[in-house]
Amino acid sequence: MCIFPVLVFLGVFLCAPHQCLECPSGCECFAVTRTVKCVSKALLSVPPNIPGYARTVVITGNNIHKIGPDSFTELENVTNIILSNNRITEMASHTFSALVNLRFLDLSGNQLALIHPEALRIPGSPLQELNLSRSLHNFSALTDLTTALRWGGLGGLLRLDLSGNHLALLPPGMFSHLPNLQQLFLANNSLVAVYSGTFSGMNHLEVLDLTRNAFGTFRADALQELEKLGNVRILLGNNPYACTCEIRDFVSWLNKTKAVVDVEAVRCSSPSRLTDTQLRGLSVQAIGCVVPVLAEVADLSLQTSYVFLGLVLGFVAMVFLFVLYLNRKGMKKWINEMRDACRDVLEGYHYRYEIDSDPRLGNVSADSSRAQRHLALALSQQLPSDTCIVQVPTDLQIKQVTTSPPVNL
């Protein structure tokens, strides 16, 4: 008598319209919230026959190595898929093509090594948020992903999380095919520099997270690239900033920018005397760019005077050389004259020596000691007037010397 209503009640309870539909083994299906969960069930693949009413599918903590287009069929109502921590290594072409209403895709905590260029392509570009945090296996995967972002038709993507991927560099223009991206998370990587072109093509970025990377500074071209992003909130904290003179541009940019929202966390990591000092407001002296101002001025004036002295000396040397050049004929003449003079002087001495030892003179002197005295007198008289010593002796004088003794005899 009472069994029928109980059966009816049970029937209604157990076979509520959605509840009655099958739920894949190892999964829990919640018709009311339109959610299917397959959590930590050591699944080796995405279970088939997920109920068509599902809007949110959570498959995490399993052992699914590969996903492809056959993993997700007839799931037109799914808007959110969470596939984190499944050890997924391969993503085939058009994996999510059937999920025409997919807005949120979480692939974090996987080991993607192979990403097909069109893996992320979905007709109508419905995807708005993609979480690839801690999901790229190595650098090849980054290259694959760059291609997939390019070929994925992700014009509707608003949020991209690439944090914790050991990224050391970002291929130029990596995000240029995500024109509507508003939030880009690159925290907890190994980035050391932003180059011009790194963020090209993003005109609607609102949040850029670069915290916990390996930036030692941001150079002028990097700051320009950040400036190009326009009205964006940038997070730059927890990087190993080296507060040496090279960080000057970055500090003066921090001094005036309003874009950096976590400026409190932007602190020096080296040198030790500045460890943990906030970068904004650091003076050029503190980062060791210049010696104190007075010394600087003194130093500068000293330098200027050295430079001036150098210029003057250079000028004098040039004038000297120029004069020498202009006067080159005179110089030549002068040198020749000098040479002749000296040769003549030497010849003069030589001659006198010869006269002294001339056997004829010897004979003469033997003939007449008076004549010899006369000659000696003539020579001694001649000597002072002999300009040879101070001036160029003329041929005449030499003739005089050579001819005078006989004449005087």
Ligand X SMILES: *[C@@H]1O[C@H](CO)[C@@H](O)[C@H](O)[C@H]1NC(C)=O
What string marks each residue from 164 to 183 as x (binds ligand X by CB under 6 A) or -?
x-------------------
C-beta of 166: minimal distance to ligand X in Å?
6
Q: Which of 78, 162, 232, 251 binds ligand X (CB under 6 A)?
A: 251
Three-class DSSP labels, the chain: CCHHHHHHHHHHHHCCCCCCCCCCCCCEEECCCCEEEEECCCCCCCCCCCCCCCCEEEEECCCCCEECHHHCCCCCCCCEEECCCCCCCEECCCCCCCCCCCCEEECCCCCECEECCCCCCCCCCCCCEEECCCCECCHHHHHHHHHHHHHCCCCCCCEEECCCCCCCCCCCCCCCCCCCCCEEECCCCCCCCCCCCCCCCCCCCCEEECCCCCCCCCCHHHHHHHHHCCCCEEECCCCCEECCHHHHHHHHHHHHCCCECCHHHCEEEECHHHCCCECCCCCCCCCCCCCCHHHHHHHHHHHHHHHHHHHHHHHHHHHHHHHHHHCHHHHHHHHHHHHHHHHHHHHHHHHHHHHHCCHHHHHHHHHCHHHHHHHHHHHHHHHHHCHHHCCCCCHHHHHHHHHHHHHHC
Q: Which of 95, 110, 133, 198 binds ligand X (CB under 6 A)?
A: 133
C-beta of 18: minimal distance to ligand X in Å?
10
C-beta of 236: minimal distance to ligand X in Å?
16
* Residue 134 interacts with ligand X (CB under 6 A): yes or no: yes
Closest to ligand X by CB, 43 vs 54, is 54
* Residue 53 interacts with ligand X (CB under 6 A): yes or no: yes
C-beta of 258: minimal distance to ligand X in Å?
14
C-beta of 52: minimal distance to ligand X in Å?
2
Q: Which of residues 371-400 bind ligand X (CB under 6 A)?
A: none
50-54 CB contacts, 8 Å cutoff, 24+ apart: 50/24, 50/75, 51/18, 51/21, 51/22, 51/23, 52/76, 52/77, 53/18, 53/21, 53/77, 54/29, 54/78
C-beta of 51: minimal distance to ligand X in Å?
7
C-beta of 58: minimal distance to ligand X in Å?
12
* Residue 24 interacts with ligand X (CB under 6 A): yes or no: no
* Residue 116 interacts with ligand X (CB under 6 A): yes or no: no
What string marks each residue from 60 to 89 as x (binds ligand X by CB under 6 A) or -?
--------------x-xx------x-----
* Residue 30 interacts with ligand X (CB under 6 A): yes or no: no
* Residue 281 interacts with ligand X (CB under 6 A): yes or no: yes
Stretch that binds ligand X, among 38-46, 106-114, 304-312, 379-387 (CB under 6 A): 106-114
* Residue 255 interacts with ligand X (CB under 6 A): yes or no: yes
Stretch that binds ligand X, among 64-72, 167-175, 247-255, 331-339 (CB under 6 A): 247-255
Tell me the site size for ligand X, rule CB under 6 A.
30
* Residue 140 interacts with ligand X (CB under 6 A): yes or no: yes
C-beta of 304: minimal distance to ligand X in Å?
25
C-beta of 77: minimal distance to ligand X in Å?
4
> Under the rule (CB under 6 A), what is the footprint of ligand X?
52-53, 74, 76-77, 84, 106, 108-109, 113, 131, 133-134, 137-140, 159, 161, 164, 185, 188, 248, 251-252, 255, 281-284
